[in-house]
């Protein structure tokens, strides 16, 4: 079994009010990733993804493109050594 990793992501641009969180959840579940996604007060979207490195890389690429209707300006990533053992992928409010 491959080692799990975790990445914290902040997506900036027109990413709220365009189903970004719902589409992020769908994409993450399709890649067998766990974690969460939420809107931030500054208009960005924050997410924590956990899973295999190759799938995390694919998810980061998805974040750079975004959901239909979104316009991504910047994606910040911070790789973490810890693994939280999330059991699913949720939208946080």
Domains of the chain with bracketed CATH: 4-83 (3.30.70.100)
pLDDT per residue rounded down to tens, the chain (93 residues): 678 999 999 999 999 999 999 999 999 999 999 999 999 999 999 999 999 999 999 999 999 999 999 999 999 999 998 888 899 999 999
Element (H, E) at 67: none
Annotate 28-42 with b (16+ C-beta within 10 A) or e (fewer): beebebbbbbebeee
Point out the residues that are catalytic: 21, 39
Question: In terms of pTM, does the model score above 0.75?
Answer: yes
Three-state DSSP at 80 gives strand
Tokens of 87: 């059991």
């Amino acid at each position: 079994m491959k080692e799990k990793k975790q990445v914290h992501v902040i997506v900036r641009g027109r990413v709220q009010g365009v189903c970004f969180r719902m589409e992020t959840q769908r994409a993450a579940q399709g890649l067998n990733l766990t974690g969460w996604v939420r809107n931030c007060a500054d208009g960005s979207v924050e997410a924590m993804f956990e899973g295999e490195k190759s799938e995390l890389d694919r998810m980061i690429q998805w974040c750079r493109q975004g959901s239909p209707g979104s316009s991504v300006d910047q994606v910040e990533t911070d790789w973490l050594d810890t693994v939280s053992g999330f059991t699913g992928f949720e939208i946080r409010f």
